[in-house]
């Protein structure tokens, strides 16, 4: 995170270029497969994502998003205050093996919303790829009470 913060505070072309490795086919496949159960993720999602990397302007748009993520981080205190004040029903379904958004981030919701339901699934970053049915059922049960 220190390198990302440095990039946000001092956005040079060379620092921006360091994030281009995120668009390599092996990196994209890894985002889908790392941490997921063996044979649980089909190739459709990552193959499509890899194909998108070949479209005009893709890398620049993605690099802009990486740079702009600082806006989310800056707004975290406002999001957290909203949750503390309004106590919305909160369901956080997370891949416990996600290397990008580590599972303590999901558990942290409970600090602001003690009644939040946090479910950690045995998967990685793209939990829907391996657990779509489970996640759909969790949403249905949590927000409608239907089983």
Tell me the per-residue pLDDT of 29-62, one tens digit each, with 9 for 90 and over. 999 999 999 999 999 999 999 999 999 999 999 9
The three-state secondary structure class of 91 is strand
Domains identified in the chain and CATH numbers? 2-144 (3.40.50.1820)
- Specify whether 131 is catalytic: no
Say which of 10, 86, 125, 131 is annotated catalytic.
Answer: 125
pLDDT at 130: 97
Q: In 19-56, which positions are buried (b, 16+ CB within 10 angstroms) versus exposed (e)?
A: beeebeeeebbebbbbbbeeeebeeebbeebbeeeeee
Task: State pTM to two decimals.
Answer: 0.88
Backbone angles phi, psi at 118, to 5 degrees: -115, 125
């Amino acid at each position: 995170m220190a390198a990302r913060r440095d990039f946000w505070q001092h956005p040079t072309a060379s620092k921006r270029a360091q994030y281009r490795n995120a668009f390599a086919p092996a990196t994209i496949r890894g985002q889908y497969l790392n941490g997921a159960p063996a044979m649980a993720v089909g190739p459709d999602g990552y193959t499509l994502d890899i194909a998108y990397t070949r479209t005009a302007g893709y890398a620049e748009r993605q690099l802009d998003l990486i740079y702009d993520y600082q806006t989310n981080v800056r707004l975290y205190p406002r999001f957290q205050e909203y949750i503390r004040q309004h106590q919305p029903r909160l369901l956080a379904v997370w891949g416990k093996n996600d290397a990008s958004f580590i599972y303590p981030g999901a558990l942290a919701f409970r600090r602001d919303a003690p009644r939040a339901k946090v479910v950690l699934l045995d998967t990685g970053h793209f939990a829907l790829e391996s657990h779509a049915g489970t996640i759909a059922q969790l949403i249905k049960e949590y927000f409608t009470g239907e089983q």
